[in-house]
Amino acid sequence: MSKERRVPHQFEGESLESVFVGRRDGEARPTVILIPTVMGVSDLEIGFGKQLVELGYNALVADIFGKEFHGAPRDTCFGEMTRLRSDRAALRRRLQHVLEIARKEDGVSENQIVVAGYCFGGQCALDLARSGADIAAAVSFHGLFDPPGLPKEKIKAKVVAFHGWDDPMVPPEKVVALGNELTEAGCDWQIHAYGHVGHGFTNPHASDLQIDGVAYNALAAERSWTSFISLLEELFG
Amino acid sequence: MSKERRVPHQFEGESLESVFVGRRDGEARPTVILIPTVMGVSDLEIGFGKQLVELGYNALVADIFGKEFHGAPRDTCFGEMTRLRSDRAALRRRLQHVLEIARKEDGVSENQIVVAGYCFGGQCALDLARSGADIAAAVSFHGLFDPPGLPKEKIKAKVVAFHGWDDPMVPPEKVVALGNELTEAGCDWQIHAYGHVGHGFTNPHASDLQIDGVAYNALAAERSWTSFISLLEELFG
């Protein structure tokens, strides 16, 4: 059975609190760092983590914004996202810090780490890959694709982006730009595009955000999850 | 165990010979019509068919060019492809004929037919979907995307295209155009793009064609097959 434990950590003076979901049997397992949507750590990501534990992995649901923002209202969370996106070099350091935290956790096989993120978290997963981090894979679920505008590194991670073609934040030209960027960066990559699917498709409560083009899509949620698990099997099976 | 049987048929005065691969136990099963590459019916597609039979499906490896072209040299096959592509309305009729042949085969569950094709065959699968055919899905493996230039029908099939991003015959603008075309046609669709992968990636002998950008890619072959089987499970599981 999976156990959750709170993982407090400090980054440049800020107090963060991530959530580790895993078995406590002393065995080191492949681990997925799950980076939440703009709304921060929630039951959604913890639930995904529990599903991963059932399949033999661990999950660390990473706190990016800070403990004080857990459960904060929408506009506050969007404000934090905007703050972090405005300095991508600082965001990169923050993500590298999260990776270090994950590596130190009990039960984490430190060379078998995958980073997967949702919406803003998807951009974070890509940004960590773009930093040249030693991770097995970076996975974006309806993430933002904008490159960070930092010096380019060789990407070592395998990259997979699950993308809704009607995502109003990521039009087709950005999909093409990501493909070309990842090709240039030399990494093994995939983009799975889904027709008639918008932003936020993995989140059953996406419509609560009341943003046009942001909605749950059960089929795309299922397909992307199935392909994600196939990737984990390809890496660690 | 699977049995192969030759299926002779006639289309507009031409003699074709497809190959049915399936069990002969009288049970009706979901069936995949496999449309070969430009080289026509070969052991490659029959081998894919046998794998499908192991998973509980039937396969009909469709002869598109005609019996006299089985095993023909490369240039002859390319000539036939060019001939058929030059009249997409006639090609559509030919594909509708193949679908009818499949429906009549013993052991075929006629409302559970998927059409999957390779290279030129991928275009054929898309063209059959574009005709508004009553098929469960149309799947393109490194297929050509050019629309047929015929009056547009509502597409009923689910469409999936597995695509190598470096395919010299299908540059990124054609990927975007396909996404937009399928969105307009109202169908459920997916495009899976693979980085550093060219044309012909499912075929271990693709390099024999000696065409730049045409090469086998084991990882893309495996990923696309895994996703294809997931689709069949989604449809018929």
How does pLDDT run across A102-143, given as a tens digit for each residue?
999 999 999 999 999 999 999 999 999 999 999 999 999 999
pLDDT of B35 higher than 70:
yes
Rounded to the nearest angstrom, the gap between the alpha carbon of residue A140 and the centroid of all alpha carbons in its chain is 6
- Say whether A147 sits in a helix, a strand or coil: coil
pLDDT of the residue at B105: 94
**Residue in B179, B193, B219 closest to A165 by CB:** B179
Q: Which of A192, A197, A217, A229 to mutate to test the interface with B (most CBs of B within 10 A)?
A: A192
Tell me the C-alpha to C-alpha distance, in Å, between residue A122 and each of A115, A131, A223: 9, 14, 17
**Residue in B172, B189, B194 closest to A190 by CB:** B194
**Residue in B190, B191, B195 closest to A188 by CB:** B195
Give chain A positions within 8 Å (CB) of B227.
227, 230
Name the token pair of B87: 């009249």
Per the listing, tokens 């019916």 go with: B41
Contact B188 A179 (CB under 8 A): no
pLDDT in tens, B224-233: 999 999 999 9
Comparing B25 with B145, which gets the higher pLDDT? B145
Contact B183 A192 (CB under 8 A): no
pLDDT of the residue at B76: 96
Provide the β-strand partners of residue B108: B29
Residues of A contacting chain B (CB within 8 angstroms) = 159, 165-166, 172-173, 175-176, 179-180, 182-183, 187-196, 219, 222-223, 226-227, 230, 234
Mean pLDDT of all residues belonging to chain B = 96
Give chain B positions within 8 Å (CB) of A222.
234
Rounded-to-integer distance, Cα B107 and Cα B188, Å: 27
Over range A93-98, report the average pLDDT.
98
Q: Which of B192, B217, B225 to mutate to test the interface with A (most CBs of A within 10 A)?
A: B192
Nearest Cα residue in chain A from B188: A195
**Residue in B166, B183, B187 closest to A165 by CB:** B183
pLDDT in tens, A182-222: 999 999 999 999 999 999 999 999 998 899 999 999 999 99
Name the token pair of B155: 């597409």
pLDDT band at B26 (very low <50, low <70, confident <90, very high): confident
pLDDT in tens, B104-114: 999 999 999 99
Contact A179 B172 (CB under 8 A): yes
pLDDT of B2 higher than 70:
no
Contact A172 B194 (CB under 8 A): no
Listed range (A13-22, B128-137, B149-158, B204-213) with the worst mean pLDDT = B204-213
pLDDT of A165 higher than 80:
yes
Rounded-to-integer distance, Cα A134 and Cα B209, Å: 38
ipTM for the complex shown:
0.97
Give chain B positions within 8 Å (CB) of A176.
172-173, 175-176
Contact A190 B190 (CB under 8 A): no
User: CB neighbours of A206 closer than 8 A, spacing ≥ 6?
Assistant: A199, A200, A214, A215, A216
Give chain B positions within 8 Å (CB) of A218.
none
**Residue in B159, B182, B226 closest to A230 by CB:** B226
Contact B188 A165 (CB under 8 A): no
pLDDT of the residue at B1: 61
Q: Which of A162, A163, A188, A231 to mutate to test the interface with B (most CBs of B within 10 A)?
A: A188
Q: Is the pTM of this model over 0.95?
A: yes
pLDDT of A2 higher than 80:
no
Rounded-to-integer distance, Cα A20 and Cα A7, Å: 7
Rounded-to-integer distance, Cα B199 and Cα B112, Å: 29
Count, residues in chain B:
237
Rounded-to-integer distance, Cα B52 and Cα B47, Å: 9
pLDDT in tens, B54-103: 999 999 999 999 999 999 999 999 999 999 999 999 999 999 999 999 99
User: CB neighbours of B19 closer than 8 A, spacing ≥ 6?
Assistant: B4, B5, B6, B7, B41, B46, B49, B60, B61, B63
**Residue in A183, A191, A193 closest to B196 by CB:** A183
pLDDT band at A25 (very low <50, low <70, confident <90, very high): confident
Over range A16-27, report the average pLDDT.
93
pLDDT of A1 higher than 80:
no
For residue A5, give the amino acid letter.
R
Rounded-to-integer distance, Cα B131 and Cα B133, Å: 5
Tell me the C-alpha to C-alpha distance, in Å, between residue A168 and each of A65, A216, A222, B67: 24, 14, 21, 50
